[in-house]
Amino acid sequence: MKTKSFLLSLVFLFIFSNEIFSQKVRYGKIDKSDLEMTNYAPDPEADAVILYDSKKVEFIFDNNKGFQFQVVRHIRIKVFNKSGFDYIDFPITLYKSGGSYEKLTAFKAQTYNLVGGKVEKSKLANKDTFEEEVNKNTTRIKYAMPNLQEGSVVDISYSVLSDFLYDFTDWQYQFEIPVVRSDFFAEIPEYYIYKTAYQGYERSSITKNDITHGSGSSNYRVNNTPTQRDGQLTKTGTIDYKTKKYDWIAENVPAFKAEPYMAASSNYISKVNFELSGTDFPSSVQTDYSRTWENVRHTLMTDSDFGGRLNRKGAIKKMVEEITSGKETGQQKIAALYNYVQNGYEWNGSFAHYPRSTTREILDSRSGYSSDLNFLLLQMLRAAEIEAYPLSVSTRSNGFVNPVVPQLTDFNHVVAVAKIGDQFILMDVTGAHNPPGLLPRYDLNQRGRLFTETHSDWISLVPDKGFKTATQAKLTLDQDGMLQGTLNLLMSDYAALDFRNRLASGNEEETIAFLSQDEKEQEEGLEIISTNLKNVEDLNKKVTASYEVNISDKVIQNGDLLYLDPMLYFDIGENPFTSETRKFPVDLSTPIEEMYILQLTLPEGYVIDELPENIAFSLPEGAGRFGYEFRKVNDRMLQLTNRITIKKTFYLPEDYAPLREFFNLIIEKQGAQVVMKRAE
């Protein structure tokens, strides 16, 4: 009897436990305790928390298209404050290409609030849902949740049917807010072979990682020639097949915290990606979709809208002859054609890898996507008999290109490359103030892939040219603490680019472009008497900016002592690397070289009482160097030379501590004061 009772207890326990485990969060079934929650205990500072995020993927057989897959998603979010409202606003993106498309097949959403101790529900109305056409291939479904308040719980459920089996949905289980639980289930027919790749630093949050095998079936219908026996126009049947099941759960996933000077969050956020590596249908040869870069090159360069477009000269031949008339060297022709497209055509602000308009449409509208304008430049270069090729890139915000797993979908942009001898000149006409050879900062994302008619190769996007400034302040200090004199700035490469961009985005009368808007608001003691700017319009030259100034707020007077901030407006300010530890790599994007020289004439009757100590130190392996040196020129004049050089742009987390200390030492030294006293 005891044995029987024991076994019954075990059976009851198994059934009870299995029931608890199999319980699913259902749409519209809200727990009152979620509405009563005032913060999320593991992360009390979180503005919102994802209570539940479920993604279920099933394959559906369409008689005309074959297999499609449908994604059913249910996400429930608790918001604690108004900042949390931003996490409710995630659009549903739908893509189409040719006769293939993604379709929103179901969508519902509700907001729940606790009013007078009772749960109040507000349904999303059709009028609060709208479509936004991003481009001819992409549509976004946006919505505004009703009655959204601090403390609300939002429940969203939608289904998307997709033809794009090669672009299978991923499982992202980490977001910028914490996740209590994320479920993923997919059952894939044996005919489709997918590889999975894990990304991110929170794999330990996955509490269930089951991959099993099952079986499935789909009905089909085929046209039929009627016979005397059956007389039927169509026949129906059933396909039986084996399946592969992915059943995953992640729990208590911490929020993704971005760090200063990091590449796109999409490179590091935790998720699992699927890649279609092949198909294996009955009575057919197995197809291998595991692409090589040679496969990608062949696909692109034989595509009439990509490689096939490069040598089309009809619409532009005469125009190119006129633009390059009188230009004898390849460099001169490149500059002329680049300037023509950069200044004569308007970028619409959107990136694209393939051209979206015909050459004639671009010429007529004088505008287009990034790919439209850069392909127009490529066509013109080739028409001028300049060796030129497309360089496919992924912008910084789009994430890294995976060099090991070739995928066209990694790229969202294309730039032009001209070859003169052994030199490659990289060009992107979407940058309004970038000369040839200096890419916009959004292009500086590790590497791009160069595609030619015969081969492809990686091209580094880490620039040789960096942020380079040389500043000379020649000032005389009077006994009242007023500094008078000149500030002379020489800016090269990305420093010149930033200066030009500031001038272009500011007031037409604005000339203090060496200061950011925040700095301008803080520096009330700076009076500009006159300004002289040179080479602002000539993008190939260094920019010089000379200012005659009065400065009234950089000296503190205390009795017979004067305290001077010698760095004026040219110190680093705050260390961007305040955290003691680092999780993700540091990406500075460009090398840095800054030199600042102060030549100071002391007031009549004053002498130096105290000078900061001279110092010089370097980063490991010569990655950077800082030098700070005062010297007396004569009894009334002293000179400070401050130089920062950072050659290395990418630092792994294990290299973070020396970099952080490097900046700490710079800031400490730049904050030191010069003390002067009245001569006895």
Helix (H/G/I), strand (E/B), else coil: 77:
strand
CATH code 3.10.620.30 region(s) in the chain: 293-460
DSSP state of 139: E
Helix (H/G/I), strand (E/B), else coil: 30:
coil
Which uninterrupted H or E stretch holds 451? Answer: strand 447-451
User: Residue 187 above 90 pLDDT?
Assistant: yes
Q: What share of the chain is helix, strand, coil (3-state, %, to 5)?
A: 20, 40, 35
Nearest by Cα to 379 from 451, 315, 318, 310: 310
- CATH topology assigned to domain 293-460: C8orf32 fold (3.10.620)
pTM to 2 decimal places:
0.83
Quote the CA–CA distance of 454 and 385 in Å, as a whole number.
18
CATH architecture, range 467-678: Sandwich (2.60)
Quote the CA–CA distance of 123 and 570 in Å, as a whole number.
55
Helix (H/G/I), strand (E/B), else coil: 365:
helix
Number of other CB atoms surrounding residue 490 within 10 Å = 19
Q: Which two tokens stand for residue 34?
A: 């979620």
Q: Using CB atoms within 10 Å of the CB of residue 634, give its burial: 0 to 12 exposed, 13 to 18 middle, 19+ buried.
A: exposed
**Per-chain mean pLDDT for the chain:** 90
Nearest by Cα to 572 from 467, 647, 666: 666
Which uninterrupted H or E stretch holds 304? Answer: none
Quote the CA–CA distance of 335 and 380 in Å, as a whole number.
12
Nearest by Cα to 149 from 109, 107, 114, 108: 114
Span 59-88, average pLDDT: 94
What does the pLDDT read at residue 16? Answer: 32
What does the pLDDT read at residue 519? Answer: 60
pLDDT one-digit tens code per residue, 437-461 = 999 999 999 999 999 999 999 999 9
Task: Band the pLDDT of 63: cuts 50, 70, 90.
Answer: confident
CATH code 2.60.120.1130 region(s) in the chain: 467-678
C-alpha distances out from residue 564 to 237, 602, 605, 629, Å: 89, 11, 16, 16
What does the pLDDT read at residue 511? Answer: 57
Q: Using CB atoms within 10 Å of the CB of residue 260, give its burial: 0 to 12 exposed, 13 to 18 middle, 19+ buried.
A: exposed
CATH code 2.60.40.3140 region(s) in the chain: 24-288
pLDDT one-digit tens code per residue, 508-549 = 445 566 676 566 656 678 999 999 999 999 999 999 999 999
Q: What is the DSSP string of 557-616?
A: EETTEEEE-TTTT-S--S-S--SSS-SS-EE-SS-EEEEEEEEEEPPTTEEEEE-PPPEE
User: Residue 159 above 50 pLDDT?
Assistant: yes
pLDDT one-digit tens code per residue, 560-578 = 999 999 999 999 989 999 9
CATH architecture, range 24-288: Sandwich (2.60)
Task: Band the pLDDT of 301: cuts 50, 70, 90.
Answer: very high
pLDDT one-digit tens code per residue, 197-253 = 899 999 999 999 999 999 988 887 665 555 555 555 556 778 889 999 999 999 999
DSSP state of 49: E
Span 176-191, average pLDDT: 96
Across-strand partners of 183? Answer: 54, 249
Percent of the chain residues past pLDDT 70, beyond the cut: 91
Quote the CA–CA distance of 92 and 202 in Å, as a whole number.
25
Span 120-126, average pLDDT: 94
Quote the CA–CA distance of 67 and 163 in Å, as a whole number.
8
Helix (H/G/I), strand (E/B), else coil: 297:
helix
The angle at the Cα of 260, spanning 258 to 262, to the nearest 5 degrees, equals 70
Quote the CA–CA distance of 368 and 430 in Å, as a whole number.
10
Lowest-pLDDT range, 277-286, 387-396, 463-472? 277-286
User: Residue 17 above 90 pLDDT?
Assistant: no
Which uninterrupted H or E stretch holds 20? Answer: helix 2-22
Quote the CA–CA distance of 665 and 577 in Å, as a whole number.
12
